[in-house]
Amino acid sequence: MTWRLSALIEEGIANLGASAFRSALLLFVSAAAFGSLAYLELRQGMELTEFTRDFREGGAYVAIASVPGGGISGTRCESLNGRPGVVAAGAWRSTGQATFPTAPGVLFQAASVTPGILRVWDPGQLLGTGPGLVVGPAMAGELGLRAGLIAAFEGDEPVSVSGVGDFSKRNPQAARWALSPVSPAGEFDECWVEFEPGAYEAGRETLAARFAESSADPAVRPYRRSDEFTRDPAGEWSSRPQKLGWIAVPVGLFGFGLVAAWFRRAEAGLYLAMGTRRAQLALMGASESWPLVAAAWGLGFSYAVAAQFLRSADPTVEVLRHAAVTSGSAALLALAMLPWAGALVARGSIASLLKDR
């Protein structure tokens, strides 16, 4: 018997509808497999993404340059802004302690800062762009200060509060500081520099040489010591257990397909008795399994994404792409393997296959 391609496709679709339970079971198993693989990729990807973000926001790529006894050039520090690999740079110097008339006897730290250091300490806000004090959150809470109000040190002229900084991640000790933005001219206690991740190590090495003057011996230290963070996000991602899931999942589904085909070996015997070749059985199996696999991947991936949103973890585009590629590769491999399950089971004599009816 000679089969037309359209007839093989119609026969496979007819088999799909005639075996509703088997088709539904394969759909469910495939969707669960693809969805689980995508979910694992999304969950670990977002966990590592959030850790990396917190790692960076916590000052992982911030270096601090200082000279014993003070004397860092504010001009040289601020001039680092705009250089390749530098996110922000600025300097500060202590101006002692002060009190406010509204809180007599309570001491607050006062400091002069260049605008760049406020971008290092609180990268989420534009602070120090106008005249007036920038105060820490604890100080603002104690004195009831907010942007636009007037404040004054004891014995000084009143000034406006230009902003309230959130320094909890980069410099929590500044929570009770009153910061006065000043010109970078002169000398300061420290220069803080935030680098891009790829420029951090090289930037730290050249930072001391930039401030070396005559007998001065600048010291450069990281804001966060490397031993404070023991995780290696890149290493964890490259060695993730589901990395080869795009191979393991279709192999498992193929095993399920072999079991299902074994129970249908009598049908395969009938097709062979009618003159159907095994390659044609594979084409018939493709038209039967491909719609199920495609629908299963769509359902599984949608479930995985929805589960992440329910966990209040909005996946980034990059993490979504990784999950789609990994689970999609598993689906493509399953598309290539599953049609051959019936052809492999249809081995031996036609008579022995037909005995199983």
Asked whether residue 289 falls in the same domain as residue 179, the answer is no
Domain end, chosen from 223, 251, 266, is at 223
Distance from C-alpha of 27 to C-alpha of 39, rounded to nearest angstrom: 18
Q: Does 208 fall in a domain?
A: yes
Please list the pLDDT of the chain residue by residue as tens digits (357 residues). Answer: 566 666 556 666 666 666 778 888 889 999 999 999 999 999 999 988 888 888 888 888 999 998 877 788 899 999 999 899 999 999 999 888 877 776 677 788 888 899 889 889 888 777 766 677 888 888 888 877 777 777 767 667 777 787 888 888 888 888 888 888 888 988 899 999 999 988 988 888 888 888 876 556 788 888 876 655 567 777 888 888 888 999 999 999 998 888 877 767 656 656 655 656 666 666 777 788 888 899 999 999 999 999 988 877 778 889 999 999 999 999 999 999 888 887 777 665 555 545 554
Structure tokens at 122: 């609180």
Asked whether residue 319 falls in the same domain as residue 255, the answer is yes
Distance from C-alpha of 350 to C-alpha of 7, rounded to nearest angstrom: 22
Distance from C-alpha of 311 to C-alpha of 303, rounded to nearest angstrom: 12
Q: Facing residues of 62 across strands?
A: 194
Query: If 0-12 CB within 10 Å is exposed, 13-18 middle and 19+ buried, where does residue 155 land?
Result: exposed
Asked whether residue 158 falls in the same domain as residue 98, the answer is yes
Asked whether residue 215 falls in the same domain as residue 171, the answer is yes
Asked whether residue 311 falls in the same domain as residue 247, the answer is yes
Structure tokens at 309: 């949103």
Q: Does 79 fall in a domain?
A: yes
Asked whether residue 20 falls in the same domain as residue 80, the answer is no
Distance from C-alpha of 296 to C-alpha of 164, rounded to nearest angstrom: 52
Asked whether residue 289 falls in the same domain as residue 315, the answer is yes
Residue range of the domain that includes 105: 62-223
Q: Report which of 161, 164, 345, 321 is spatially closest to residue 258, judged by C-alpha positions.
A: 345
Q: DSSP for 210-266, please give it.
A: HH--TT---EEEESS-GGG----HHHHHHT-GGGGHHHHHHHHHHHHHHHHHHTTHH
Dihedral angle of Cα 201, 207, 209, 212, to the nearest 10 degrees? -150
Q: Does 129 fall in a domain?
A: yes
Distance from C-alpha of 268 to C-alpha of 266, rounded to nearest angstrom: 5
How far does CA 318 lie from the centroid of its chain?
8
- CA end-to-end span of the chain: 22
Asked whether residue 219 falls in the same domain as residue 244, the answer is no
Q: Does 153 fall in a domain?
A: yes
- Coil/strand/helix, residue 345: helix
Q: Report which of 52, 63, 54, 79 is spatially closest to residue 201, judged by C-alpha positions.
A: 63
Q: Does 78 fall in a domain?
A: yes
Q: Does 155 fall in a domain?
A: yes
Q: Facing residues of 151 across strands?
A: 159
Residue with tokens 């199996």: 285
Please name the residue ranges forming H helices in the chain. 5-18, 20-57, 74-78, 115-121, 137-143, 200-211, 233-238, 245-262, 265-273, 278-310, 317-337, 340-345, 350-354
Asked whether residue 115 falls in the same domain as residue 219, the answer is yes
C-alpha gyration radius of the chain: 34
Distance from C-alpha of 116 to C-alpha of 119, rounded to nearest angstrom: 5
Domain end, chosen from 191, 223, 255, is at 223
Q: Facing residues of 279 across strands?
A: none
Q: Does 228 fall in a domain?
A: no
Asked whether residue 213 falls in the same domain as residue 166, the answer is yes
Question: Is the distance from CB of 78 to CB of 116 less than 8 angstroms?
Answer: yes
Asked whether residue 322 falls in the same domain as residue 248, the answer is yes
